[in-house]
């Protein structure tokens, strides 16, 4: 039994590692869920960016009204 006393003394550390790991996993999951709820889906952000560019081009006079309406309907 000599020399094995320090191993028994460190047995308390495994539950600490397990609890810390579970807390870390929980934190990461919560952050991912929060990020997913606050950031818009990729398709919406791409669509709104395309719509914004189309509106800017129309405002600069780069396209006529018919072309603007046709492209706007394609984005909807």
35 shares a domain with 1 = yes
Give yes or no: residues 22 and 50 share one domain.
no
CA 60 to chain centre: 34
Range of the domain at 49: 41-76
Integer Cα distance of 29 and 35 in angstroms: 10
Shared domain check, 75 and 45: yes
17 lies in the same domain as 51: no
Whether 45 and 19 share a structural domain? no
Residue 5 has pLDDT above 70, yes or no: no
Q: C-alpha 63: how far from its chain's center?
A: 35
Separation of CA 33 from chain center? 8
Domain tally for the chain?
Answer: 2
Report if pTM > 0.95. Answer: no
d(CA 76, CA 71): 9
75 with 54: CB under 8 angstroms? yes
Q: Whole-number mean pLDDT of the chain?
A: 82
Q: In this predicted model, what pLDDT tens digit does every residue of 27-48 receive, in sequence order?
A: 999 998 887 766 655 555 666 8
Same domain assignment for residues 18 and 48: no
Under DSSP, is residue 8 helix (H, G, I), strand (E, B) or coil?
helix
Residues 29 and 46 in one domain: no
Q: Which residue reads 């047995």 in tokens? A: 11
Q: Say what the pLDDT of residue 16 is.
A: 92
């Amino acid at each position: 039994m000599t020399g094995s006393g320090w191993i028994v003394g460190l047995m308390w550390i495994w539950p600490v590692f397990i609890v810390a790991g579970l807390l870390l996993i929980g934190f990461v999951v919560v952050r991912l869920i929060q990020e997913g709820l606050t950031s818009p889906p990729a398709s919406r952000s791409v669509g709104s960016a395309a719509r914004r560019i189309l509106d800017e081009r129309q405002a600069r006079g780069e396209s006529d009204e018919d072309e603007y309406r046709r492209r706007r309907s394609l984005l909807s």
